[in-house]
Amino acid sequence: MPVTPAPTGSHDTGPLRRRPRDRFRRRLVASITVFVLVGAVAAVIGAQQGPRLRDVTYDATGLVSRPAQRVILTANQALQRVPADAVTVSPSAPHTVTSSGNTIAVEFAGPLAYDRAYEITVRDVRAPGQPAASELRTTITTGSTDVLALVPGASGGKDRIVRRSLDAGGATTVFEATGITEYARLGRSLVVVRGADGRSTVEIVPLAGGVQDDSTPVERLTLPSAAGRVTALHVADDGASFGFEYADTSTGQSRNVGLYVVDMTGTHLPTAIADDGKPTAGAEPMTVAQWAYVPRTESALVRTGSDDLVLVDMSGRNDPVRLGSATYLHGFVGSGTTAVVETGTGIVRLDLTDGQRTALPAPEGSTDAPYLGRIAPLTGDTYVRVVGDVRTDGTLAQRIVRVDASRASRLPVTVPEDASVTAVCPSPNSQFLAVTTRSASGDLVSVVDAASGALEASVQASSVDWCGTLPSGDEIG
């Protein structure tokens, strides 16, 4: 029987149409199977190996300049709580430990040493419900340090603010102008005081790459009177405000001498700190003998003209705190919650949180000299002080004494016979000291190791920014 051929253009396409869809299903199932298997294998491996370190974050500069700085270790999965004794730091540094989710935070009590590698090890790290433990290990490197120094201009030339790194030679000019009297870092800017003959200007200089940004104009502040003298410049650590003492000289005499604050989050207009300890526009300012910002706060410790001690919130948000009296402010201990002050009966550590006073150690050798200068605190029981004997010609033979609790020893820093020490200023982490001296040949800043006295660097300058954290005002004799 003859077979009738199919009409032209007519085909049985049912099975062919189904094949691509079947292939897609098979590939999808295969892919899902692979993912499931990979996940299962990863879970098995994770359970056998324990958590792994995924990321480490920290601020290398903050670690050497401020306390309570953290290193955050992030694991690849959630973690059981990590006890403090599971974490070690080498070289040893006081720290606390907190953990949450997949992160471990190692918080250091005080600033670390400059340009140093620290190894952090976390033992017996486990994921919740997993038996396998692992060890997380990382090495962090802290930042190096530099100083800003004021180099006076020769023969009426421009003064220069230079940056000098301790791990490299030479200096970089950050800003230059005539008549610079004071300066301070303010975030990514500089506050610069210029003036002569009782007339000052205050300028905010923008920086880019660590030097003046010529593309952005310098801001000159409007001062409280047509003419006035600005001294005792200090800047809050967070850069939110700065303050200074101001004397109205528009009449040819100094009037309304007292403390002013500039709120950088507001109008940038200097506002008087009134006698009640509050910033008040147009008020007669609080008289000041010495003052400085308490490190890492917006509060200032003020010794008034009548030797009263007042803790002033420069933002005005909190009421002032009266802390008795003192005849001199020496400085602050590390964390900033303790000040070293002189009273009529001795030198004490003043707890700024509760007003408690404890005697500062004064072992033999630290006070047996006719001249006793400012104390530069390093830790609670460690400080350096300039002391001196009177030579037959009436000049001072000065030396630097280091006190470690009950022991006093001379720090081997050479002071030339024709020079006098004008300041000793600790670095933010108390690892180094800036020793400023003045002689007939000029000014010199020597940066030395605070423990050994070894010379690290020197620059022909009259001051460095480390000294800006010390309470300014009258000097003891």
Q: What is the pLDDT of residues 213-241, one digit of tens each?
A: 999 999 999 999 999 999 999 999 889 99
Gap between the Cα atoms of 270 and 256, Å rounded: 14
Tell me what pLDDT residue 240 has.
92
- Residue pLDDT, tens place only, 18-68: 555 565 566 655 555 545 444 444 444 445 679 999 999 999 989 998 888
Q: Which residues pair with 389 in a beta bridge?
A: 397
- Give CA separation, 390 vs 100, 395, 396, 398, 411, in Å: 61, 6, 5, 9, 19
Most distant CA pair in the chain, distance: 145
The average confidence (pLDDT) of the chain is 88
Query: Looking at residue 46, what is its pLDDT?
Result: 46
pLDDT digits (tens, 9 = 90+) for 298-331: 999 999 999 999 999 999 999 999 999 999 999 9
pLDDT in tens, 386-406: 999 998 888 889 999 999 989
The confidence score (pLDDT) of residue 83 equals 96
Low-confidence ranges of the chain (pLDDT < 70): 1-48, 335, 474-477
pLDDT at 436: 94
What is the 3 state secondary structure string of 3-61? CCCCCCCCCCCHHHHHHHHHHHHHHHHHHHHHHHHHHHHHHHHHHHHCCCEEEEECCHH
pLDDT attached to residue 224: 94
Exposure b/e, 237-251, CB count within 10 A at least 16 = b: beebbbbbbbbbbee
